[in-house]
Structure 1
């Protein structure tokens, strides 16, 4: 890559955010694996790209792979490459994977927790020895890459339940960087909103007028479960609606939930510490299902009751599995298992 490459822009002045940037800049120079943690939409991919361009590998390629977008076989092929065709005289075609394309640079693995245990074991070997094999090939390849992994899960809990390779976690966790959620960066919201809204206003042929005081109050009052990504959408929506009104005055209309007219307003979840964990009391359970009838299948009844309780708790907590798990005194991994079991 040419000399024009530079770290992507990350905007913010809050102490928590600046502390994260400083830590990332220091770790960027250490040619070892890194884990970047943070809630969805908090900027893990952007921060990882910044670390690449601040590292000694900045002239090499930056290859990104989302482990949540593929099943186990597809991910293994996309990551390690594959060999197809006859190996007994016929034509053999080798398809390079992300590892080969990242040679000399950085491989970013988003949602690393979604990789199968088999793929995780191969990533572990890659980190330890620098060697790997293409899918359907027994010949080892050597590579020189740096791995940056990202997750919004607690990998320690997944390792405890056997869903994540504990040895891989030990290797990846040499350095861990946590991105603060937007709700802990209130002072950054005005400049971020302006940064996202300004191009949208320019696209409409206007000059950015800034947000009104009322609009900024509304933006700061929201808890931003979708973090930076959600703020970008809300800011652009406000800019386009302002432009539809012929661009009069400052941007004042903030619509957080555009589906409220169709489906009703979303339930507020964070009015108080008590309301953050909306669980069930024993008296609630009787209202969720008909009483058990002696002689019927007890296991089926309990399974249906479990499904109903979890579905109701997820609804009360905005479909946030972590909050629902806390409300029911479950671990996040137990909640994920129940959700998967019942197809919620």
Structure 2
């Protein structure tokens, strides 16, 4: 490999980390699909990149897409491309990611969020290396190595009929499972110092003065639900708040404040109603009159529709965080179908 191409840097010295690294190095040279499994923030995209650059395909394209960030129709168009006139707004031919990644690697993140029809087409590409663009009738041949990632239990989804088991079989030639940060205790301080020094350089400061003993104990005892991504945020936040000083305080939750807004009485009332209402029911009465229902609450004018929107947005954010941003789990948690949840996320611009 030429010197100008450098592998994505991975830092760690714990036994679980080194074992995972060895696993990646062994499977990388093979022209076989690989499934990466790990919690959010564990570095799944970094592993996918490493699989590509350690393979014979390293000089060709490494393309990636987050399957949870797009609607089913848009995801299908992005993956397989389309012909002019395939759907409204398709004014010209467009090559999809499979076609553009020919000879290289395609990384599908959040694979569990793909719809069954898309899964079927992905399966065909893996098995036969062929597909058609949307709206086209020409069969195209490609040579693409597929690397996919998920934070879900795909075999369990397969048994429940929510994911194609034959696709799982094709993808799981080998499965690389990433250890969460709480299982990499020996790496926490190493990673923390690396992020701290990088932040010092970014701020053009002179040096990093280190962590206090109390902070080191905090770092080692915290559960790190957001894993390495969360650690990076916590450390960078602490360093900029302690320039050229020993870091003596960490802020794990930047939203914590004695002045944090509380849930309004209107939201609490709506929450009680929402819990007792099924996903397909409609209110027995509808408010007539102005488009915006403004009511008087203890002498204060309140925009009812805005309060409903604020409540739903807040509830969606909290549910996503509780379910580690896994959309299917969030839908189940909220007693919604997956497509209903996606509709709400699009409505409030929460898909990005």
Q: What is the TM-score with the length of structure 2 in the denominator? A: 0.74
1:82 matched residue in structure 2: 82
CA contact (8 A) 1:2 1:59 kept: no
> 1:184, 1:96 → 2: CA distance?
42
Cα deviation for residue 302 of structure 1 reads 8.5
> 1:228, 1:211 → 2: CA distance?
18
1:293 matched residue in structure 2: none
> 2:111, 2:150 → 1: CA distance?
6
Cα deviation for residue 252 of structure 1 reads 1.7
> 2:97, 2:23 → 1: CA distance?
27
Cα deviation for residue 319 of structure 1 reads 5.1
> 2:68, 2:9 → 1: CA distance?
26
1:52 matched residue in structure 2: 52
Cα deviation for residue 93 of structure 1 reads 3.0
2:332 matched residue in structure 1: 335
1:253 matched residue in structure 2: 249
> 1:205, 1:319 → 2: CA distance?
34
Aligned residues: CA RMSD: 3.0
Structure 1 residues 338, 31: closer, same or farther in 2, change over 3 A?
same
Cα deviation for residue 228 of structure 1 reads 0.7
Q: What SS class does the counterpart of residue 158 from structure 1 fall into?
A: helix
2:116 matched residue in structure 1: 117
5 Å-filtered alignment, 1:205-224, equals 205-206=204-205, 207-224=207-224
CA contact (8 A) 2:154 2:168 kept: yes
1:280 matched residue in structure 2: none
Q: What SS class does the counterpart of residue 53 from structure 2 fall into?
A: helix
5 Å-filtered alignment, 1:193-342, equals 193-206=192-205, 207-243=207-243, 247-248=244-245, 250-261=246-257, 262-263=259-260, 320-321=322-323, 335-336=332-333, 338-340=335-337
Please state if 1:163 is matched with 2:166: no
Q: What SS class does the counterpart of residue 64 from structure 1 fall into?
A: strand
1:282 matched residue in structure 2: none
1:16 matched residue in structure 2: 16
> 1:53, 1:78 → 2: CA distance?
23
1:33 matched residue in structure 2: 33
Cα deviation for residue 203 of structure 1 reads 2.4
Q: What SS class does the counterpart of residue 136 from structure 2 fall into?
A: coil
Cα deviation for residue 337 of structure 1 reads 7.3
Structure 1 residues 144, 3: closer, same or farther in 2, change over 3 A?
farther
Cα deviation 1:245-276 (Å, max 9, x = unaligned): xx23x122211111111449xxxxxxxxxxxx
Structure 1 residues 317, 164: closer, same or farther in 2, change over 3 A?
closer
Structure 1 residues 18, 84: closer, same or farther in 2, change over 3 A?
same
CA contact (8 A) 1:202 1:208 kept: no
Q: What SS class does the counterpart of residue 93 from structure 1 fall into?
A: coil
Cα deviation 1:78-98 (Å, max 9, x = unaligned): 111111149xxxx98321111
Q: What SS class does the counterpart of residue 84 from structure 2 fall into?
A: strand
CA contact (8 A) 2:62 2:104 kept: yes
Cα deviation for residue 100 of structure 1 reads 1.5
1:148 matched residue in structure 2: 147
Cα deviation for residue 301 of structure 1 reads 5.6
Cα deviation for residue 22 of structure 1 reads 0.3
Q: What SS class does the counterpart of residue 225 from structure 1 fall into?
A: coil
Cα deviation 1:34-76 (Å, max 9, x = unaligned): 1000000110000110111111111111001110110011001
Structure 1 residues 48, 212: closer, same or farther in 2, change over 3 A?
same
> 1:337, 1:135 → 2: CA distance?
34
CA contact (8 A) 1:48 1:148 kept: yes
Gaps of 5+ in 2: 262-270, 280-315, 345-352
1:192 matched residue in structure 2: 191
Structure 1 residues 163, 336: closer, same or farther in 2, change over 3 A?
farther
